[in-house]
């Protein structure tokens, strides 16, 4: 290709690049947020062209974050991290990345869970959106229990599988964790078996683990009654756990597929265990909050469909 035709081909490309640069420069000069950041850092208008690529990247990053409502809808290429402009040691405009507010909140929330036997997706649940009549009753019941001056601060939710009992408890506990409270959310079928193994094979570790659970601000026994039942599990794990929480006056929330009457039958694992099974259930009943809408035993029956009514937060 001769020089004339080469110039004809290349000139429009150079002109197009120049126009794109001018357009980007104008966008940054008219961007109020960027101008405030540059003023904060002492970067003058005459320096902007030298930092155009950095500022363009920053504009794209903060633009993706500006209207974000949570991690589930994050559109930033840096995914949950925000770009922060700074002046480097060499005196030049630079940047670093730090967690976005939603990521920080989620991390703080997770740090306050000593156990969380549920999907990490459930960390987006929040009690603030429990607005339907049924979920409001559960929320009111638990908040009332926490304000009970007679020490009746336990709540027992029961109902069919997939009725949303766990969803409701996670939504409430997420808000407690955000407020700095420690949570032990145990799947009974899973964790009681783990505790049994520790009690048999490593008693010191068992005692430390049990104390960590006992010292949590909130204990949730999810799927209570689904665990393998034996005299050993009942007498070495379940009874000490419930008795000590009752003694300390700290809250316990249950979700179960069984009523307390059924739990009593299920824990009669031998002919000689009827008395202990009755005592176990009595401990729970004596600590249950009383409120209108509960059955005479102090239990709250949850109907199916609740999980569809609890919205999520990012």
Q: pLDDT value at position 137? A: 84
Tokens of 94: 């630079």
Q: pLDDT value at position 69? A: 61
- Mapped onto helix, strand or coil, the DSSP state of residue 312 is strand
Q: pLDDT value at position 309? A: 46
- For residue 278, how many other CB atoms are within 10 A of its CB? 13
Strands 81-87 and 93-99: what pairing? antiparallel
Q: pLDDT value at position 161? A: 84
Q: pLDDT value at position 225? A: 95
Per-residue buried b or exposed e for 243-257, using 16+ beta carbons within 10 Å of the residue's own CB: eebbeeebbbbbbbb
pLDDT along the chain (314 residues), means of 10: 44 71 88 90 90 88 71 63 87 86 78 92 84 81 85 91 88 93 96 96 96 97 95 93 96 96 91 88 90 66 63 48
Q: pLDDT value at position 130? A: 78
Architecture of domain 112-312: 3-Layer(aba) Sandwich (3.40)
Q: What residue spans define the domains of the chain?
A: 3-102, 112-312
- For residue 277, how many other CB atoms are within 10 A of its CB? 21
For 26, 63, 147, 152, the CA distances from 247, given in Å and listed in that order, are: 68, 53, 17, 12
Question: Which DSSP string corresponds to 162-200?
Answer: TSSHHHHHHHHHHHHHHTT--EEEEEHHHHHHHHHHHHH
């Amino acid at each position: 290709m001769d020089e004339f035709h080469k110039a004809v081909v290349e000139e429009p490309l150079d002109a197009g690049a120049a126009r794109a640069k001018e357009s980007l420069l104008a966008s940054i000069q008219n961007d109020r947020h960027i101008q405030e950041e540059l003023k904060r850092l002492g970067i003058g208008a005459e320096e902007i062209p030298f930092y155009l690529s950095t500022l363009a990247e920053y504009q794209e990053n903060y633009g993706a974050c500006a209207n974000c409502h949570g991690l589930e809808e994050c559109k930033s290429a840096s995914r949950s991290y925000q770009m922060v402009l700074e002046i480097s040691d060499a005196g030049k405009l630079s940047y670093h990345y730090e967690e976005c507010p939603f990521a920080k909140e989620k991390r703080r929330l997770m740090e306050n869970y000593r156990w969380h036997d549920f999907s990490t997706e459930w960390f987006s649940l929040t009690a603030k959106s429990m607005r339907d009549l049924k979920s409001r009753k559960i929320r009111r019941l638990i908040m009332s229990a926490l304000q009970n001056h007679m020490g009746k601060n336990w709540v027992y939710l029961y109902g069919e599988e997939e009725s949303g009992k766990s969803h409701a408890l996670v939504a409430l506990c997420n808000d407690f964790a955000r407020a700095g409270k420690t949570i032990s959310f145990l799947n009974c079928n899973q964790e009681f078996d783990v505790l049994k193994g520790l009690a048999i094979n490593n008693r010191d570790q068992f005692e430390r683990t049990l104390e960590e659970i006992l010292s949590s601000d909130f204990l949730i026994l999810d799927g209570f009654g689904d665990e393998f039942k034996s005299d050993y599990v009942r007498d070495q794990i379940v009874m000490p756990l419930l008795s000590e929480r009752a003694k300390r006056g700290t809250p316990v929330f249950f979700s179960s597929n069984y009523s307390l009457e059924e739990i009593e039958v299920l824990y009669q694992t031998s002919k000689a265990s009827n008395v202990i099974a009755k005592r176990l259930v009595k401990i729970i009943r004596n600590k249950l909050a009383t409120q209108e809408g509960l059955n005479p035993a102090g239990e709250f029956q949850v109907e199916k469909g609740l999980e569809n009514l609890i919205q999520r937060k990012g």
